[in-house]
Amino acid sequence: MSDLAIRVTNLGKRYHIGERDNHRTLRDVIANSIKYPVQVARSWLKQEEHPQATKNTIWALRDVSFEVNQGEAVGIIGRNGAGKSTLLKILSRITEPTTGRVEGYGRVGSLLEVGTGFHPELTGRENIYLNGAILGMTRVEINRKFDEIVAFSEVEKFLDTPVKRYSSGMYVRLAFAVAAHLEPEILIVDEVLAVGDAAFQKKCLGKMSDVARQGRTVLFVSHNMTAIESLCDWAILLDEGRSVSKGSPRQVIPEYLQEAFSSLTQQVWLEQAEAPGNDDVRIHRACVRPLKVNSSNLITVHTPFAIEFDYWNLQGDNNLDLSIHLINEQGILVFDVGRVERPEWQANDVPLGLFRDICYIPGDLLNDGMYRITLFVSKDQREIYRAPDILVFDVQDTPGMRGDWYGKWPGAIRPTLKWTTQQIG
Partner 1 sequence: MATNNAISPKSPEIIDDVPMGIEDKHPPSNPSKLTPLFVVEPPRGWVSLQLKTLWAYRELLYFLVWRDVKVRYKQTALGVVWAILQPVLMMVVFSIFFGKFAQIPSDGFPYPIFTFVALLPWRLFAGSLAMAGTSLVMDQGLITKIYFPRLLIPLGTVFVGLVDFAIAFVILLGMMVYYGIALTGAIFTLPIFVALAILTAFGAGLWLSALNVQYRDIQYIIPFLIQVWLFATPIAYPSSIVPEQWRFLYGLNPMVGVIEGFRWALLGQTSALDISAFISVVIIVILLASGLIYFRRMESTFADIV
Considering only 32, 39, 116, 267, the residue that binds partner 1 (CB under 8 A) is: 116
* Smallest gap from residue 28 Cβ to partner 1 (A): 9
145 to 174: interface string for partner 1, x by CB under 8 A: -----------------x------------
Q: Is 284 strand, coil or helix?
A: strand
Establish if 104 lies at the interface with partner 1 (CB under 8 A).
yes
Q: Is 55 in the site for partner 1 (CB under 8 A)?
A: no
Pairing of strands 108-111, 186-189: parallel
The DSSP H or E segment spanning 170 is helix 168-180
Q: Given the complex with partner 1, which of 144 and 342 has the nearer CB atom?
A: 144
The contact mask relative to partner 1 for 14-53 (x = CB under 8 A, - = no) is: xxx--xx--xxxxx-x-----------------xxx----
- Specify the residue, 162 or 169, whose C-beta has the smaller distance to partner 1: 162
Pairing label, strands 217-221, 73-78: parallel
Stretch that binds partner 1, among 126-134, 305-313, 314-322, 386-394 (CB under 8 A): 126-134
Say if CB 240 and CB 79 are below 8 A apart: no
Between CA 87 and CA 100 the distance in angstroms is 12
Q: Residue 73: beta bridge partners?
A: 218
Nearer to partner 1, 55 or 382 (CB): 55
d(CA 345, CA 285): 23
Binding string to partner 1 for residues 307 to 346, with x set by CB under 8 A, is what?
----------------------------------------
Binding of residue 13 to partner 1 (CB under 8 A): yes
- E strand or H helix at 244, and its extent? strand 242-247
Choose the binding region for partner 1 from 9-17, 234-242, 250-258, 309-317 (rule: CB under 8 A): 9-17
Q: Rule CB under 8 A: say whether 81 interacts with partner 1.
A: no
CB 185 within 8 A of CB 216: yes
- Taking a C-beta distance cutoff of 8 angstroms, is the pair 244, 237 a contact? yes
- State how far the Cα of 283 lies from the Cα of 267, in Å rounded to an integer: 9
Please give the Cα distance from 56 to 20 (Å, whole number): 13
Euclidean distance between CA atoms 123 and 127, whole angstroms: 6
Q: Is residue 405 packed enough to be buried (19+ CB in 10 Å), middle (13-18) or exposed (0-12)?
A: middle
CB of 241 to partner 1, least distance (A): 13
The distance of closest approach from Cβ of residue 300 to partner 1 in the complex, given in angstroms and rounded to an integer, is 34
- For partner 1, which stretch binds (CB under 8 A), given 32-40, 88-96, 334-342, 412-420? 88-96
CB of 67 to partner 1, least distance (A): 12
The residue within the footprint of partner 1, chosen from 36, 42, 66, 136 (CB under 8 A), is: 136
- Tell the smallest beta-carbon distance from residue 142 to partner 1 (Å): 9
- Residues whose CB is less than 8 angstroms from the CB of residue 27 and which lie 6 or more positions away in sequence, other chains included: none
Which 8-state DSSP code applies to residue 193? T
Question: Taking Cα atoms as reference points, which of 208, 147, 144, 210 lies closest to residue 176?
Answer: 208
340 alpha-carbon distance from chain centroid: 36
Q: Which x/- pattern, by CB under 8 A, does the window 214-233 give for partner 1?
A: xxx-----------------
Q: Are 142 and 128 in contact (CB under 8 A)?
A: yes
CA angle 339, 345, 346 (to 5 degrees): 60
122 near partner 1, judged by CB under 8 A: yes
Indicate which single residue of 68, 78, 84, 92 sits in contact with partner 1 (rule: CB under 8 A).
Answer: 92
To partner 1, the closest distance from the beta carbon of 122 in angstroms equals: 6
Residue 96 binds partner 1 (CB under 8 A): yes
Residues forming contacts to partner 1 in the complex (CB under 8 A) are: 3-4, 7, 12-16, 19-20, 23-27, 29, 47-49, 54, 57, 70, 89-110, 112-113, 116-117, 119, 121-122, 126, 129-130, 133-139, 141, 162, 182-185, 214-216
